[in-house]
Amino acid sequence: MKRLFLFITTIIIFIIPSQADEGMWLPYLLQLNEKDMQANGMKISAEDIYSINHGSLKDAVVLFGSGCTGEIVSDQGLLLTNHHCGYGRIQAHSTLEHDYLTNGFWAMNKNEELPNPGFTVTLLVSMKDVTREVLEGVKDNMSESERQSIINKNINKIKETAVIGTHYQARITPIYNNNQYLLFINEVFTDIRLVGAPPSNIGKFGGDTDNWMWPRHTGDFSVFRIYTGKDGKPAPYSKDNIPYRPKRHLKISLKDINEGDFTFVFGYPGSTQQFIPSYAVELIKDQTDPIAIDLRTKRLDIIKRYINNDRLTRIQYASKAAGISNGWKKWIGELQGLDRLNTVKNKQNIEAQFLTWIQNDPSRQQKYGTLLDQYKNLYAQLQPVAKENSYFMEAFYSIEIVEFMWKLKSLLTLNPNTPDADKERILKNAANNIKSFFKDYNSKLDKEIFILLANEYFQHSQYTRNKIDVEKTADRIFSRSLFLQQEKLEQLVASGNVKALQKLNNDVLVKFAMPYFDLYIDSVSPQYQALNKQITSLNRIWTQALMEMQPDKQFYPDANLTLRVAYGKVAGFEPQDGVKYKHYTTIEGIMQKENPDIYDYVVEPRLKELYNNKDYGRYANSKGEMPVAFIATNHTTGGNSGSPVLNAYGELIGLNFDRCWEGTMSDIQYDPQVCRNITLDIRYCLFIIDKFAGAGHLIEEMDIVN
Ligand code: ARG
Ligand code: GLU
């Protein structure tokens, strides 16, 4: 009986083609999903979403910077993305007198829009499969390095010829763990201006407390505009540039959003690992995640104590803390999810099926017979090296002053023979680094972190068993090192006196830290990379085997910061026994969370006024509520922030900005029961622009369907 049951479950795992809602699909192959999408409610065609023959939705979706997504919403290049994606730009324009982060910023006409030199957005022109061309000349029996060098040569050639005579850029990325290759032709825009941002009390409402959580009330958006040269082509900032005229901009829907409605997310997911073997999941679950979580918990405890007691430290460390806490919280959710789904066991089941599948087939035996043993062996070797790596990165290198010293290390190499041009560059970089470091540095806080993290590092690194009195060392470094004395260090760098600079090599901090950097660079990192390289080539073969073993399953490639479509339905979920989450939130929740004494929950007086008067204009739903956010089953990950969330007609209904905590293991295993992406309702975004900020001229540019 038990046997039979096992047999049946095995078959079921085999047969289910792909779980509903899971998947980040390639837009140029979307015909393969079209039927399923339409069966789930989509009213447009795959060709409406991605076409190389005529304008399609893809012409309105951009990679924003290098880790977020944005969408064009007017025929004048108006761009929406998340507040946390625009954060760096908003911060860069903020000063004590013009604190746009705190108070928000709104350009009331195009002349007031703020340029961001060096910042880019990237628009996809086309994509295609170039696997055959990339693998030309590659043979099965080649060594990995021979193989890679042929591939690199082919890639360079294809990239070069692909963009001849155009202003486009080419990029080739492997998919399916180096089994296939895609060519992307991109147009890169270089004049991107800040148009608007809500105050942090709206754009970051709930802060790190609510991050990754539902119910959510964050107005996580900011507004930019793409400019081009007079010829309509990308050009660096010039005041004569003109607003970009896109081939396509998104229409915006203000209609009700109901549970069960079809939605899709069109954007740039960064990285997922669906194909990894059980050994890799074990490593993440038993070692990598727990170490990082533990170290960050302790580090955040210290930072929070300082932030809560001092306003200046809050300004200096808010963004740092957000970065540390974002990963920390995600990994906690991921661990719980991997446990709950029993992902290791699921992977082991697939591996068992695989063994059966190759058992009686000599050619499979020959190709794949040793695969799992090799994995097992490599992960056994990787485990201690990865631990060493984690403690180096998350403990030792996470001490701010240590990282700062490392960034200035080229100062230590200056000597009388250094060519003038190099010297000048090194001194200039150092001067910039010093200025920006001390602007946001609290040495008392960092000394506590030093004592904490250095202790952790020395306790856990297998290389550093000899006794070090960390507290005494900290006392010495923090009282004597020149790297902690801004003025002296600045003077030294400004002097350009090589002899004096060379003395930095005897600085207490350098003397203390350098040996551990040497150790890492000479020993840990090379081992770590060598093992990962071997694992990467096994991954290629393993992925190939999995695809061969399940010929009827529709696969999607792991996310790799290329344009994808994820689709699903608006849906609440049950995070725990007895708890049910609704699919949307409203402004009522903002008022329920309001607490003038807690930084994350301060509500702007103007917003309260609008709330008290129920002055929601055309943006309320049919029940008269002001919706703020909703959740759906779309499979998303980091990088999807700012992605357009569209309805069955391809109209914009919101901006993706997060996932629910219970589902963050979806980077490894997706679960339709609890994996939900969190979307800012476009109606709240427009309400803030229009009613709160009085920037109605931006609304007029947009194409709104009621
Ligand atoms: N969790 C979101 C993402 O992964 C938002 C991060 C920014 N917000 C924050 N409170 N740290 O990027
Ligand atoms: N906030 C994430 C981002 O910046 C999206 C959340 C996620 O799904 O990982 O891309």
Q: Which pLDDT score, from 0 to 100, does residue 13 have?
A: 43
Cα(290)–Cα(339) distance, rounded to whole angstroms? Answer: 13
| DSSP secondary structure letters along 36-54 | HHHHTT--S-HHHHS-SSS
Task: Provide the mean pLDDT of the chain.
Answer: 95
CATH class of 1-120+190-269+566-706: mainly beta
pLDDT in tens, 209-266: 999 999 999 999 999 999 999 999 999 999 999 999 999 999 999 999 999 999 999 9
* Alpha carbon 193 to chain centroid, angstroms: 22
> Amino acid letter at 374?
Q
DSSP H stretches of helix in 360-442: 362-368, 371-394, 400-407, 409-412, 420-439
Residues 76 and 225 sit within 8 Å (Cβ to Cβ): yes
210 lines ligand 1 (CB under 6 A): no
- The reported pLDDT for the residue numbered 465 is 61
**In the chain, pLDDT over 90 holds for what percent of residues?**
92
**What are the pLDDT digits (tens) for 660-692?**
999 999 999 999 999 999 999 999 999 999 999
> What is the residue-wise DSSP string for 593-631?
H--TTSGGG---HHHHHHHHTT--GGGS-TTS--EEEEE
Spacing, Cα 87 to ligand 1 middle (Å): 11
- 365-390 residue pLDDT tens: 999 999 999 999 999 999 999 999 99
Most confident of 465-469, 583-587, 595-599: 583-587
CA dist 407 and 433 (Å) reads: 8
Is residue 666 lining ligand 1, measured as CB closer than 6 Å?
no
Distance, C-alpha 8 to centroid of its chain: 39
- Residue closest to 604 by CA, chosen among 693, 696, 694: 693
Whole-angstrom CA distances from 597 to 308, 506, 600, 601, 667 are 11, 48, 9, 8, 36
212 lines ligand 1 (CB under 6 A): yes
Phi, psi of 114 (to 5 degrees): -105, 125
For residue 2, pLDDT beyond 70: no
- Please report the atom of ligand 2 found closest to the CA of residue 330: 9
Q: In this model, does residue 544 exceed pLDDT 80?
A: yes
Of residues 278, 177, 271, the one with CA closest to residue 544: 177
Which residue has better confidence, 342 or 5?
342
User: What average pLDDT does range 51-70 have in this prediction?
Assistant: 96
C-alpha closest to that of 396 among 433, 356, 449: 449
Of residues 457, 335, 299, 332, the one with CA closest to residue 389: 457
DSSP string covering 217-280? -----EEEEEEE-TTSS-----TT-EE---S----EE-S---TT-EEEEEE------TT--HHH
H runs (alpha helix) in 76-206: 83-92, 100-103, 131-134, 144-162, 200-203
How many Å apart are CA 90 and CA 83, to the nearest integer?
A: 9
CA of residue 641 to ligand 2 center, whole Å = 5
- Given 21, 210, 220, 558, the catalytic residue: 220
The pLDDT, as a whole number, for residue 574 is 97
Nearest to 654 by CA among 674, 635, 624, 632: 632
Q: What is the pLDDT of residue 466?
A: 67
- Got the DSSP string for 80-100? EE-HHHHHHHHHHT--SSS-H
pLDDT digits 0-9 by tens, 284-334: 999 999 999 999 999 999 999 999 888 888 888 988 999 999 999 999 999
Question: Does the active-site annotation cover 641?
Answer: yes
Q: Residue 155 C-alpha to ligand 1 middle, in angstroms?
A: 35
**What's the 415 CA to ligand 1 centre distance in angstroms?**
44
How confident is the model over 136-193, as pLDDT tens digits?
999 988 999 999 999 999 999 999 999 999 999 999 999 999 999 999 999 999 999 9
pTM over 0.85: yes
Residues of the chain above pLDDT 70, percent: 97
7 pLDDT higher than 50: no
CA distance 437 to 165: 43
Nearest CA to ligand 2 atom 6: 658
For residue 1, give Cα distances in angstroms to 6, 9, 14, 346. 9, 12, 20, 21
Question: 468 in ligand 1 pocket by Cβ < 6 Å?
Answer: no
* Ligand 1 pocket check for 285: Cβ under 6 Å: no
- Domain boundary assignment for the chain: 1-120+190-269+566-706, 278-540
Whether 208 is catalytic is no
**Known catalytic membership, residue 479:** no
Q: Is 8's pLDDT higher than 50?
A: no
